[in-house]
Amino acid sequence: LVGAALYGATLSLGIWARSVWDLVVIVAFGGVGMSLFWLMAEAAIAEGATGRVLSRRMGIFNISWSVGDVAGMAVSGALYDVWGRLPFVMIVVVMAALVVVLAFARRAKVEEVPPPQNLDEREMLEVPRSVNARFTRAAWVGNFTGAGVMGVVRSLFAAPATDIFRMSGAVYGLAIGTVCVFRTLTFWLLTHWRNWHYRKGVYLATSSLLAAGMAGITVAAVMPHVPGMVLVFVSFAAAGVAMGMMYYSSLFYSVHTEALPESGTRLHEAVVGAGGTAAVLASGGVGQLVRNASGAFATLGAFALVSPFALCAVTAAAGVVTSWCFITGRLGGKDMLEETAPACYPDRGVQAPKS
């Protein structure tokens, strides 16, 4: 309740913001509010669940917040065309309603849900701790880059959207919403796909779409208007699929251990926050350097505005290589090779080494 109230109250101050630094402070305190309820929700969802049940719970949770993200992007883009501060008014209304719902929900009688009777539903995805450690670290790398790219898209795409692609606020909202839509569809697919867990090829191939998407944004800047716009939406769709796999994997592998769910969710979300912060700072700095250089080299042209996305493409590709090194045991140290129990999926190239 306190977290939700703080989140809404601080972001509502954006209505009266007069400078970039006003927004920096507002968003920082809004992040504190979100951290008070987001991690608690993840840990509560993971509590007492294993195997397929855990995967399904994670899927429903991810679909829930991602659908809200889609709606928020689309609606706020249209509201921005009416009045630039109207999206902040929407935040006040939504969060106030949420606080009221939470206040009533905490008093509601909750019936205990019986454990699943179907053996298939209770099936535990048995893998050695070494395998879980490899995939967890690989997914954290992917989540770091995915969160970073999402931060860059949200923060820095506005400039090329208006100056290069000539988007209105509504079209801009749809473009960013495309990332969220395909991320949501990926969440839905992973919720219903039984055997995607701990599969090296599936994870690496899907993660590679993030680098391809960011490269597509860079190329679209030098294309004619209509083909460039099409490529923007296709690129954002590819990035959304990759982000869905990265976030879902990071959260699932983090709690699919013998450790307390709270520990896993804290580390998972810490990676998200660190990735978003580092990528936006680095990309903003690179963008400024390229814009400064474009004064001396006029041939840089539109690339000055999309240079952050070129940097994201390179970073995302490096992230895929690093994830591959973790999964295959080339990174991570000897602690990842201590477990010698056979893995459940011997055909996936991730079984523990023999004694």
Question: Would you place residue 3 in the very low, low, confident or very high pLDDT band (cuts 50, 70, 90)?
Answer: confident
pLDDT tens digits for range 191-224:
888 788 889 999 999 999 999 999 999 999 888 8
Q: Residue 240 pLDDT > 50, yes or no?
A: yes
Lowest-pLDDT range, 98-107, 159-168, 296-305?
296-305
Going along the chain, which residue ranges are E strands? none
Q: Which residue is listed with tokens 């295959």?
A: 328
Lowest-pLDDT range, 17-21, 79-83, 339-343?
339-343
Closest-CA residue to 268 (of 254, 257, 278): 254
**pLDDT at position 268:** 65
pLDDT tens digits for range 323-341:
999 999 888 754 443 443 3
56 is written with which tokens? 């399904």
**pLDDT at position 201:** 93
- Strand, coil or helix: 347: helix
As a whole number of angstroms, the distance between CA 352 and CA 355 comes to 9
Query: Cβ neighbours of residue 106 under 8 Å, at least 6 residues apart?
Result: 1
Query: Cβ neighbours of residue 99 under 8 Å, at least 6 residues apart?
Result: 1, 4, 5, 8
CA quadruple 6, 12, 13, 14: dihedral sign: positive
Query: Cβ neighbours of residue 138 under 8 Å, at least 6 residues apart?
Result: 203, 322, 323, 324, 326, 327
As a whole number of angstroms, the distance between CA 137 and CA 264 comes to 12
305 is written with which tokens? 């505005």
For the chain, the distance separating the N- and C-terminal CA atoms, rounded to the nearest angstrom, is 51
H helices present in 169-260, as ranges: 169-192, 200-220, 225-255
**pLDDT at position 320:** 96
pLDDT tens digits for range 25-51:
998 888 888 888 887 787 777 777 666
Residues 304-308: what's their mean pLDDT? 83
pLDDT tens digits for range 153-194:
988 898 899 888 999 878 888 898 899 889 999 999 998 887
Q: Residue 125 pLDDT > 70, yes or no?
A: no
As a whole number of angstroms, the distance between CA 263 and CA 39 comes to 10
**pLDDT at position 298:** 45
- What is the pTM (predicted TM-score) of this model? 0.75
